Structure 1
């Protein structure tokens, strides 16, 4: 009974939006289960921009961001392929690849990716440098309930700059649930 009460209390605490300004999620060990599930404020998105910073020692293929909808397990996906040095952006399960990216281990990288269903164009900014704009015939807007996961692939902020809080995810009022070994730590400032 005590365990059940503790689990209920932990779940309730995780469901309350928290101010994570100046904070970051840290995945301190490789895992096939640890992740953070973010709750979106809006559904049915006609456009999306995802900006994040990452720092890893992984040299293997790994996920950076995953948004799924009821109609597409890979609604908006950002995936790194280490061997081929490609960043793949998936929009409604259609893949666009950016080759020759300098995604080095043990260095902070800033990545912004944007997509609009009106003109069906995707573009990425890698460490502040724009990549070529590419057409992606990925269908319509992200429809239905959205699930956003950090740290794992779903099977069904930048260099100290401040951005206007998002209207889908707001870091200063973030609704999230942590599964496995994920830490919330103070943001690390770079010295360069």
Structure 2
């Protein structure tokens, strides 16, 4: 039933007018197992490479989901997660230690994965991680469920308050390729990029906010 509701929402929002959220942010004012934002991708083709970039502001010290992409067969098709370290999930997971975000400040994050080599890497506030291997030869296929604010334990649902995000999120972009380092550096330094995300584009975004989520002007 939850999958049916997600598909219905996907079909409805696919016809929604896209919004330019430049200078805007999603605010998640409380911890919950309900508040989330569904992002409708600009394409739903199979993916063999991914880059996700976003900025977040939070005072949470516990585990939290920053970006959750599920497919009908894989709840963690591409998940960016933070507890005492950063984790990237694609079928399996890998852990990146020693890259600390800052509480009550804006943090810029990018994560990449390339199926051909299996190499995944993250950048946090301009500092890059070691390059690690995960899911070499893997593929992300099936209609994606992309959610901010919650971690999907099942397709479009299975939310857990203890893994939810509270705080602010902005400048979310996703590409179907590994973004070159110079482009990631531009993002980290808040310099306009040559190209916006071609899967998720913050400046042309289809989304549905559910529960206690507010769209408001970004605060510095």
> Does TM-score exceed 0.5, indicating one fold?
yes
Contact 1:35 1:152 (8 Å CA) reproduced: yes
Alignment match of 1:67 (pick from 69, 76, 81): 69
Alignment of 1:43-54 (within 5 A): 43=44, 44-54=46-56
> 1:161 is matched with which residue?
191
Alignment match of 1:132 (pick from 130, 141, 146): 130
Alignment of 1:108-123 (within 5 A): 108-123=106-121
Task: Find the aligned partners of 1:65 and 1:138 in 2 and give their Cα distance.
Answer: 21
Task: Find the aligned partners of 1:123 and 1:76 in 2 and give their Cα distance.
Answer: 13
Would you say 1:87 and 2:89 are equivalent positions? no
How many residues matched? 175
Match of 2:203, SS state, is helix
Contact 2:101 2:125 (8 Å CA) reproduced: no
Taking a change above 3 Å as real, the CA distance of residues 99 and 50 of structure 1, as seen in their structure-2 partners, is same
Taking a change above 3 Å as real, the CA distance of residues 162 and 33 of structure 1, as seen in their structure-2 partners, is same
Task: Find the aligned partners of 1:16 and 1:155 in 2 and give their Cα distance.
Answer: 29
> 1:8 is matched with which residue?
none
Give the structure with higher Rg (CA).
Answer: 1
Runs (5+) with no aligned partner, structure 1: 1-10
Post-superposition shift, 1:99? 1.3
Alignment match of 1:172 (pick from 182, 203, 206): 203
